[in-house]
Amino acid sequence: MGNFTNDENWAGRERLAGIERMLWWRGFVGRPDLAELFGVSPAQASSDLQRYQELNPGGMGYQMSRKRYEALPGMKCVMGEPQFELAVKLFLGGELVSGVGGDVGSDLVETVKLPVRPVKPDVERMIVQSLLGGWRVEIKYRGVRQSDRKSVGKRWVRPARLVWDGARWHVRAWCELREAYRDFVMSRIVWAGVPVSCDDSLPADEEWGRWEVLELMPNPKVGEEGREALRLDYQLGKGGILKLKVRAALKQYLRERMGVLEGGGERQWVEVEGESG
């Protein structure tokens, strides 16, 4: 029975996707690559390459002198959208991660390492248990704002959601002391007790349920060349307005991440009038 590449089978699609990644990012692929990466026989590797060429006839051509397939100038991807961060990890020996974690192990790639904001494991555990059970939990919190510093003692909260703002974890919780929803930076929770069950339901979180559109425009003070660079960065249309849909409760975090400064200044972006989503 001859070798056959079934592109509807998970393993077959993975090998075909691997062929495409090597062609797109590295520019070439050969049978030894597939044999080493997937542990298949030379015959199976030949079948995979033939099947990929059938699926993407304009994608690659065989170079006799090098005994390998090389990407053609007009190559398009048919197995999925190219993923830059995956390419960095696979071909450059490093790893770029949008979000949490990620270390780099290559001289070709480097990332800016922000200071670690550690959260106590016991605090993480109690918060997760509270979220899963819908329970109350007593915490001791150290805030930066004056209103938070006035209440440095213990308080009861009802965790509702976790939020990652791109730099640190927050727990959004109903604060029984303030009688309102508050976001608590988890690394600032000094202590968390054992969660306690409660029968009443959480109040409605109107800010969480309301979507808004944050509208940003390049700051006129960066000059025309600077504005054009920002328009290119974010593929802005003729109007030059960047519209970002966000929950009202998280709008401030998005402003901070985008470096927004209302009313002018030297920042890249200024905010224009938004709209409800």
- The residue among 13, 14, 41, 18 whose CA lies nearest residue 91 is 18
CB atoms within 10 A of CB 188: 18
CA 218/CA 267 separation, integer angstroms: 9
Length of the chain: 277
What confidence tens digit (pLDDT) does each residue in 132-158 have? Answer: 999 999 999 988 765 555 556 799 999
- The residue among 164, 180, 183 whose CA lies nearest residue 172 is 183
pTM higher than 0.75 for the full model?
Answer: no
Specify the range with the lowest mean pLDDT, choosing from 17-26, 150-159, 205-214. 150-159
What confidence tens digit (pLDDT) does each residue in 111-139 have? Answer: 888 788 899 999 999 999 999 999 999 99
**Which backbone phi and psi does 226 adopt, to 5 degrees?**
-65, -40
- In the chain, what are the domains? 10-82 (1.10.10.10), 121-203 (2.30.30), 208-276 (no CATH)
